[in-house]
Amino acid sequence: MEDLRELLRGAERVVAFTGAGVSTESGIPDFRSPGGLWSRFDPSELTFGRYVVDAAVRARSWQMRREFFAKPVQPNAAHRALARLEQAGRCLGVVTQNIDGLHQQAGSRTVVELHGTAREVMCLGHAPTSGVPDGCGWRAPYTWAFEALDAGDPDPSCPRCGGLVKSATVSFEQVLFPGVVEAAYDLVSRSDLLLTVGSSLQVYPAAVLPEVALGSGARLVIVNDEPTPLDRRAALVVRGRAGEVLGPAVDALV
Ligand SMILES: [Zn+2]
């Protein structure tokens, strides 16, 4: 812990990269863990390609989204610590794999959401192909969809153009939103310390961002409860839960 404080103290442009492990202490289980959503919903069924052709898949996806929001969740000590670091001018922002919006709720202002956000729904257009949304640009808070479903519309469509509506997340087999990876690369390449928290760093672009940071001369710190493939490249590896590690580490600084 003292080593982590020392590294943070010496850094002026921290960028945090966060995965599911940063939100588990808020009560959001990792999708793939026992009790996670994918133990009850089949991911191979809820792909982008199937969503756009099958109303039953859309209905099942809305049901899954309702379960995601069934229990109110709050940011935890890790989200709050990263927000404080940014407000103190020590952190350029957060790149996250999470779709829960908890970084923004905690007060982080610069947040790049690689997989979109469950807090909004968006128009996909009438017949998007190849995993790319083709909508009119309409978006609304996620509650719009639940209100439409509750009002008796089993398959809510875009009020502006009549296109399909989906959670503004990146589904399986869906292409990442334009500009998002570039924004993540840009932020990370300007950092002097990349703090990865709660990500196994195994999938693209998560596995690449530490390389980008190291290539631009930044130091790498990994906070995770399990080993990652990049541990040996890190200046420091801390095993533990995100809030329990980051809360006290940042308390000592700001
Ligand atoms: Zn539309």
| Mean pLDDT, rounded, of the chain | 94
Residue 158 is labelled as binding a ligand: yes
Residues 13 and 87 in one domain: yes
- Mean pLDDT of all residues in 51-80: 94
Residues 14 and 89 in one domain: yes
Residue 103 among the catalytic residues: no
pLDDT at 35: 66
Average the pLDDT over each of 26-35, 71-80, 179-188 and give the range with the smallest value.
26-35
Could you give the number of structural domains in the chain? 2
DSSP string over 159-225? TTT--EEEEEE--BTPPPPTTHHHHHHHHHHT-SEEEEES----STTTTTHHHHHHHTT-EEEEEES
Residues 218 and 101 in one domain: yes
Residue 91 is labelled as binding a ligand: no
Residues 247 and 151 in one domain: no
| Cα 69 to averaged position of ligand 1 atoms, centre (Å) | 24
pLDDT at 72: 87
* CATH number of the domain to which 242 belongs: 3.40.50.1220
Q: Catalytic: which of 79, 103, 115, 126?
A: 115
| Cα 188 to averaged position of ligand 1 atoms, centre (Å) | 33
Q: Which domain holds residue 224?
A: 1-27+75-115+178-254
| Cα 168 to averaged position of ligand 1 atoms, centre (Å) | 13
Residues 18 and 143 in one domain: no
Write the pLDDT tens digit of every residue in 179-221.
999 999 999 999 999 999 999 999 888 889 999 999 999 999 9
